[in-house]
Amino acid sequence: MYTLLHGFYKYIIQKDEYCVLILGLDNAGKTTYLEATKTKFTKKYKAMNPNRITTTVGLNIGKIDVNGVRLNFWDLGGQQELQSLWDKYYAECHAVIYIVDSSDRDRVSESKETFDRMISSEHLAGVPLLVLANKQDIPDCMGVHTVKPIFNQNAHLIGARDIMLMATSALTGDGVDEGIRWLVDCIKRNSVDRPPRNHDDNL
Amino acid sequence: MSKIKKFSGSFRYTQWDPCLIIFQIVAMQSVMYLSLSLLVAIMQDLTGSTRTLDHLFEYHELHIVDNEGRAVILAFVFNAVIGAFALWMIVGRTKLCLDFSCTYHGLHLIACWYYNGSFPTTFSWWTLNIACGAIMCVAGEFLCLRTELQAIPLSNIGAKVDL
């Protein structure tokens, strides 16, 4: 009887779980963005001091509940050598957040190449994409209007999937909220093609 | 059902399965009342008392002043041991023995409540049922644990091995 009721309770409160990849070149602010997201959507979460965030080796994981769904973030390391690991995660993710360092004009073309390589993967077909022009708190950064044309060039690669480019500052938390809410709506719309991953409930 | 699974070499589906649990509860209740009725009937024949449903549900039938009451108590205790085997056959999970044992006794409480029209307040009824529940649970856990701790045979099991 307890198992029956407990299982029923679990069944009632269970949320759809989706996985979101956070990608981008190294030093784009992926981990800082993840921290900002966790701070925004988790009550009583104390953010890590941004000065102490260093190069990600492997991956960072974050979990938030928003609009009745649970998002699992996989923040992967962006170093050149670690980029070869990205495609191992493509098949299981439900959305991708791609972060661009909009203060680094020298590497924006490299970022664009990496972005094209990522979206041309067949495992990511139809997955909603959120491109973030990060570091908007730096005075002489590129605005959305500069970054957008660069990433919009290959429309044939983007295809029919949902894509949005937004200006954010992971450090101050600007634009984090809107981005995540947009992404959740897209993921829900796309859940017919990519159904949520739900945990098995072990007795 | 668990036997089929045992031979196919895969663990039982561990997700929440309300149908399975409900039918296990129904099966436990039926088996327990059937065996209790048979035991009480045998005891009644041995003590030469009349066969009546009161012996199963009536609070005041549980006493140690004469052989009739003692026989009924003995039947309940034996039934708890049979219940342990029923748990082993029907449930087969160590972790669920306490749950199913409490469920059986809880439903028995409701049945008694309905039969007598009043909540049980006699010391003998509560003592007997708690003791029987404990026996059933512990013995059932012991039996299920023995099965669960058996080595998994790796030879001639076919391709369907799930380690």
Number of domains in chain A: 1
Residues of A annotated as catalytic (active site), given as ranges: 79
Where helices occur in chain B by DSSP H, the ranges are 2-8, 18-47, 54-57, 67-86, 97-116, 123-148
Higher pLDDT, A42 or B157: A42
Give the helix/strand (H/E) hosting A180.
helix A176-189
Cβ contact (<8 Å) for A201 and B18? no
Residue A199 has pLDDT above 60, yes or no: no
B114 belongs to a structural domain: yes
Does residue B10 sit within a domain?
no
Please answer whether residues B74 and B49 qualify as being in contact, where contact means their C-beta atoms are separated by less than 8 angstroms.
no
| Residue B17 resides in a domain | no
Q: How many domains does chain B have?
A: 1
Is the residue at B21 inside a domain? Answer: no
pLDDT average, residue stretch A16-29: 90
ipTM higher than threshold 0.85: no
A11 vs B16: CB contact, 8 Å cut-off?
yes
Q: Is A30 labelled a binding residue?
A: yes
> A74: Cβ–Cβ under 8 A, 6 or more apart, which residues?
A19, A20, A21, A22, A59, A60, A61, A89, A93
Give tens-digit pLDDT for B9-48: 445 556 778 899 999 999 999 999 999 999 999 988 888 8
Q: Do A2 and B18 touch (CB under 8 A)?
A: no
**pTM listed for this prediction:** 0.66
Q: Which residue of A has its CA nearest to B22?
A: A4
How high is the mean pLDDT in each 10-residue block of chain B (163 residues)? 40 72 94 93 86 83 82 92 94 91 94 90 90 95 91 67 53
Asked if the model's pLDDT at residue A138 lies above 90, the reply is no
Residue A98, beta-bridge partner list: A23, A131
* Predicted pLDDT of residue B17: 83
Does the residue B43 lie in any domain?
A: yes
Helix (H) or strand (E) holding A37: helix A30-41
In a domain, A2, yes or no: no
Please choose, from the candidates A151, A147, A167, A90, the residue with its C-alpha nearest in 3D space to the C-alpha of residue A115: A151
The half-sphere exposure of B29 on its side-chain side, counting CA atoms within 13 A, is 17
Comparing alpha-carbon positions, the chain B residue that sits nearest to A200 is B15
For the four alpha carbons of B45, B50, B53 and B59, in that order, the dihedral sign comes to: negative
Question: What range does the domain containing A70 cover?
Answer: 15-195
Residue A203 forms part of a structural domain: no
CATH number at residue A128: 3.40.50.300
Counting one residue from chain A and one from chain B, the pairs whose CB atoms sit within 8 A come to 34
